[in-house]
Amino acid sequence: MKKTKIIATLGPASSSKEMIKQLHEAGVDIVRLNMSHGDHDFARSIIENVRAVSKNIAILLDTKGPEIRTKDVLEPVTFNEGALVTLTYGSQYCTQDTIYITYQNLPNEVQVGTTIILDDGAIELRVEEVRPDSLLCSVIEGGILKGKKTLNVPNVNIKLPSVSQEDFDDISFAIEQEVDFIAASFIRSQEDVLAIRKLLEEKQSKIQIISKIESRQGVENLTEIIEVSDGIMVARGDLGVEMRAEEVPIIQKKIVEACNLHAKPVIVATQMLESMITAPRPTRAETSDVANAILDGTDAIMLSAESAVGKYPLKAVQTMVRIAEYIEQEREEYQNKLFHRSSSRITDAICRSSFYMARDLHADFIVAPTMSGYTARNLAKFRPPVHILATTPDERCARQLNLLYGVVPIVSEHKGDRRSFIDNSVGELVDRGYLKPEHLIIITAGMHVGKSGSTNLLEVHKVGELLQTNKD
């Protein structure tokens, strides 16, 4: 069973109950709804289908963020190198003569010679003339433009609001639908995250915020963003447009390392198996890309168009699972030393010790009863060699634990004091078939009921002996 988590974006190719069930059974832990390509009615119908399939599938809603996009097309439009095209704000369909965009103030923020990138680099334009309400551009790199594609202006700080009214509407919708995660697009500073956090707190929502790093500002302010976020997504599409392509692999590694050190889950996303949108098999380069993300220490890998609109959504998931399972078997040789840097925190000491005990004693599982997910999150940081069985009485907490590397969340009833919760958790895990009497387990938990961040217990047991002791 894989430890790396898989996120699949749902769309026309994958929104039916039957397909969602197949994807989940194949290994999908979290489904993503991209609000840049759907409205609330479509998202609501998908959420209903997901919950009809399983209440254990976590749901991530991806906001538009402060982005600029082209408007729709009647049919794909081809732009040839050297052609001239006008960019202007409007809601009409794009043509070969005019590309309509979602941002009205762009002519006031660029100058002649500015480079404009469409669709994550598929088309490159250069501004030739700035007009009061439009831009005349020449096509430097031609390509085919489909509807609602991204527009990036590298090295220009576009003055878009950090959270738009559309974003607030989408977040309110997410709260109403009780989704598990919000992926906040184009996060540039901690203030962007805190603006979303304030709205969630006002609504008393426990939705977790996954901050998407996809600009130079986001990279420069990474540490402060990680500190106020619940997780990070390395959004390589826009990141690779905003920065030089050759910078992205190193930036990815640095972001993953920083998240590991802060015990915050991290997702590597965009173009992981891009060729599988139309082909039944990935390229060797894509296979290596997925493998290297896992070796870097990512918690989750994500499918975008491959599962949303591709011809082979199920095969794409199955391919990711095969890569993950194989690489995880081999990754001991490449275990990153950063996971085991010294720390004076009690939680780190307990969780690091759990890793070494599980490894040296050849334990079968680590059991982590948790109320908030704190213990499981800090255990996952050390990438133990066995799965972490995280029991919690909170269904949403269990779904959110789906994002953590190597964590198997199980909803478990909480009765009595903390000791009773721990013992009952082991009993339930046996009853449900996760544990057997002959299994050797490491138990890690916090003994202060209701207090998050108090992991201070470490025990080693044979399951059968523990059950017998509890009976006696």
pLDDT, one tens digit per residue, over 185-241 is: 999 999 999 999 999 999 999 999 999 999 889 999 999 999 999 999 999 988 888
Q: Give the confidence band of 451 by pLDDT, cuts at 50, 70, 90.
A: low
| The two three-digit tokens of residue 434, written as one number | 């996760």
Dihedral sign computed on CA atoms, order 446, 447, 451, 456: negative
Instruction: Tell me: pLDDT of 339 over 80.
Output: no
Instruction: Tell me: pLDDT of 340 over 80.
Output: no
pLDDT for position 338:
47
Out of 2, 3, 5, 69, the active site residue is 69
Mean pLDDT, to the nearest integer, of 258-287? 96
pLDDT for position 237:
86
Dihedral sign computed on CA atoms, order 158, 166, 204, 405: negative
pLDDT for position 264:
97
| The two three-digit tokens of residue 180, written as one number | 């598990």
pLDDT for position 472:
65
Mean pLDDT, to the nearest integer, of 320-333? 87
More confident residue, 413 or 448: 413
Q: Give the confidence band of 276 by pLDDT, cuts at 50, 70, 90.
A: very high
Instruction: Tell me: pLDDT of 401 over 70.
Output: yes
Rounded to the nearest integer, the mean pLDDT of the chain is 93
CA distance 413 to 322: 34
More confident residue, 344 or 305: 305
User: How many Cα atoms within 13 Å fall on the side-chain side of residue 115?
Assistant: 11
Mean pLDDT, to the nearest integer, of 397-419? 92
**Has 32 been annotated as catalytic?**
yes
| The two three-digit tokens of residue 444, written as one number | 């890690």
User: How many Cα atoms within 13 Å fall on the side-chain side of residue 38?
Assistant: 23
Out of 2, 32, 377, 399, the active site residue is 32
Out of 4, 70, 270, 444, the active site residue is 270
**Domains of the chain, first to last:** 5-65+162-331 (3.20.20.60), 68-152 (2.40.33.10), 342-471 (3.40.1380.20)
More confident residue, 348 or 451: 348
pLDDT for position 67:
83
Out of 212, 253, 315, 352, the active site residue is 212
More confident residue, 447 or 326: 326
Is the overall model pTM greater than 0.85, yes or no?
yes
**Has 4 been annotated as catalytic?**
no
Instruction: Tell me: pLDDT of 111 over 80.
Output: yes
**Has 203 been annotated as catalytic?**
no
Dihedral sign computed on CA atoms, order 378, 379, 384, 390: negative
Mean pLDDT, to the nearest integer, of 418-442? 93
* 369, 393 Cβ separation under 8 angstroms: no
Proportion of the chain above pLDDT 90, given as a percent: 81
Instruction: Tell me: pLDDT of 462 over 70.
Output: yes
pLDDT for position 415:
75
**Has 44 been annotated as catalytic?**
no
58: enclosing H helix or E strand: strand 58-62
The widest CA-to-CA distance across the chain, in whole angstroms, is 85
